[in-house]
Amino acid sequence: MDTPRASRVGEQIHKEISALLVKGIKDPRIGFVTITAVEVTRDLSIAKIFFTVVGDETVRRESEKGLRSSIPFIRREIGRRIRMRHVPEIRFEYDKSIEYGNRIESLIQEIHEQKADDSSDTEDN
């Protein structure tokens, strides 16, 4: 259950990390990364940063390594920009929801195609 404060902090962290990815972090391992969500614990001690990346599994793994190695820099910048006395511990997690959504969409498409094939077979008889 989110508290209003945790939600506000999460939104600010989301905004700042997104800006840092565009202008602040220069790690060549980090590909085209998008921050999809930020979940902050009630006590503001941990921030889970969910991300997606354009590319294959290798690009994802390299981007994740780059993001993880930039955590100290990100925490310093968040503390400075948001002026937080205690910056949450940052944990990057790959957001699989887009992959799941694409898989479900392709399964639905297959079902529709199969139904269309089945109905055309019955019409031919």
Task: Note whether 66 and 51 are within 8 A (CB).
Answer: no
Give the pLDDT score at 121. Answer: 67
Q: What is the mean pLDDT of each successive set of 10 residues along the chain, which is 125 residues long?
A: 84 94 88 92 94 90 94 93 89 87 85 80 62
Give the pLDDT score at 42. Answer: 93
**Predicted structure pTM score:** 0.77
Return the CATH fold of 4-94: GMP Synthetase; Chain A, domain 3 (3.30.300)
Cα(106)–Cα(60) distance, integer angstroms: 22
CA distances from 106 to 31, 35, 52, 96, 113 (A): 26, 24, 19, 16, 10
Give the pLDDT score at 64. Answer: 93
Domain boundaries, the chain: 4-94, 97-125
Give the pLDDT score at 122. Answer: 64
Give the pLDDT score at 3. Answer: 85
Give the pLDDT score at 117. Answer: 78
Pick from 3, 2, 18: nearest CA to 77: 18
